[in-house]
Each structure stands twice: as C-alpha cells, then as structure tokens.
Amino acid sequence: MKLSIVMPVYNERATLEEIVRLVRTVELTVDPTGSNPKVQGPIVLEREIILVDDGSTDGTRELLANWQQQAIPELTILFHAANGGKGAALRTGFSHATGDLLVIQDADLEYDPSDFVRLVEPILEGRAAVVYGSRFLGGPRAAMRLSHTLGNQLLTVATNLFYGTSLSDMETCYKCFRRTVIDGMPLRSRRFEIEPELTAKILKRGYTIYEVPISYNGRDFHEGKKITWRDGIAALRTLVKYRFVD
C-alpha cells in the first residue's frame, strides 16, 4: 500500500529541508495483525511526498526547483504561479496523489511525522476510513496562545453541533483518510477554510472520524504562523454553508 503525504508550502524556507527529511525517513511499518486477523504480518507502506509550492517568495521556490532538477526519489514537486492559499495547494496535491491513503502535512515543524503510524493504524485495522490527529487528547504539546486555543475550541464545538459528532480537534492539520473518501468530492476552498470544508463533507457522506492523540509544537506569528482570527470567521461561515449545500 502507498501513503501519499500532501504538503502545501508557502514561504517555509527555514523549516522545509528539515520537515522533508523527517517525512522521508520516518518508518512506515504498521502491524495490525492483533485486531485484523485477515492481515498476515506487518505492512510496510510505500510513500510519495507531494510538495505544492503556493507562490513562495522567500527562497522556498528556488530550493524546490533545485530538488526537482535532482529528481529525488519519492518527491513530486508542483508549483503555483501565485499564492492561492492552503486549500488551493491541497486541491492540487490531492489531484496528483496516487496513494491508497492520504495524509496532510504542513511544511513547518508544528507536527511530527513520527505520528503517521498512529494515524494510519486504525485505517489498516479496518476500524475507520478517516483518522484525525488531535492535539487535545493528551499527547505532548507546547502551550498554544490562548486566542488559538479558544478559536480551535469554538470551531470544534460548532462542528459538533452542526454535524452531530464529538470531535476534540477539527482544525488539526493531521487528517488521514482512504483515497476513496475524497474521490469525486467537490472541494472549493482556497484558504484555511479547507479544514472545515473537508470535515463537513466527510461527515455528510456518513463517515465516522476516528481521533488519535498526537504531539504538537505550535509556533507563534513572529515564527511564521499564518492563520489569523479572520480565518476563524471564514471557517465558521464554511461550517454553516456546507451544512446545507455541497
């Protein structure tokens, strides 16, 4: 089986080399035999890493162009002519993914790729088709800014109310799912509202979202964090919108 790791990239020159190194070297061996007797022995996942540069201007684009010329194994590198937003980059990445499973990875160092096995395990065990990595289930994490914590909680509560679920972290980057979950799914968001759009459409299609604890090392605005309160308002509008339309 193959895992497609889709990574939107925008002005992440300071962290890109390290996060790609981590993603390329993390062990992807899963042993679901304990809960799924149909599986004979451990599964070693093949990986592909799809990097979508979203109009970077800080040297990220030149680094990626250099990697593209080197034809580094496992890397697929795509370029947007101008900045379109995280949602636009993910849509491009999804359209080029060839894996059986997909996972979203940010290009900073807030999320640890060593959690990939934890994310894919419930899927390979047949317990879920969609798994989210939650920053609020007891995994090690750096303290978030209070405004970020409250914003995340507000959007998660809104999701649970509108869609009848009980998530603890809707806005998490780490969303992992079988490719079939989004095949044919119309995705329209261009910016950070892709997170609630994905969640809304996954839930409306009858999938249960399984959550696992992950580690988190959040960064602040002076370190390059890009999401703001305006994105929170857009996310709330998106949750309301897709409750009634598709």
Q: What is the pLDDT along the chain (246 residues), one digit of tens a residue?
A: 999 999 999 999 999 999 999 999 999 998 876 666 666 678 899 999 999 999 999 999 999 999 999 999 899 999 999 999 999 999 999 999 999 999 999 999 999 999 999 999 999 999 999 999 999 998 777 766 677 788 889 999 999 999 999 999 999 999 999 999 999 999 999 988 999 999 999 999 999 999 999 999 875 544 545 567 677 888 899 999 999 888
Q: What is the pLDDT of residues 6-50, one digit of tens each?
A: 999 999 999 999 999 999 999 999 887 666 666 667 889 999 999
**pLDDT at residue 70, as a whole number:** 95
Cβ contact 210:135 at 8 Å: no
Beta bridge mates, 2 = 46
Tokens at 99, concatenated: 């894996």
Cβ count within 10 A of residue 189? 21
CA distance 208 to 214: 19
Look at the chain and report how many structural domains it folds into.
Answer: 1
Domain range holding 219?
A: 2-244
Half-sphere exposure of 45 (CA within 13 A, CB side): 29
**pLDDT at residue 220, as a whole number:** 58
Q: How many residues are listed for the chain in this entry? A: 246
CA distance 85 to 189: 9
Kindly report the CATH number assigned to the domain that includes residue 128: 3.90.550.10
CA distance 155 to 165: 13
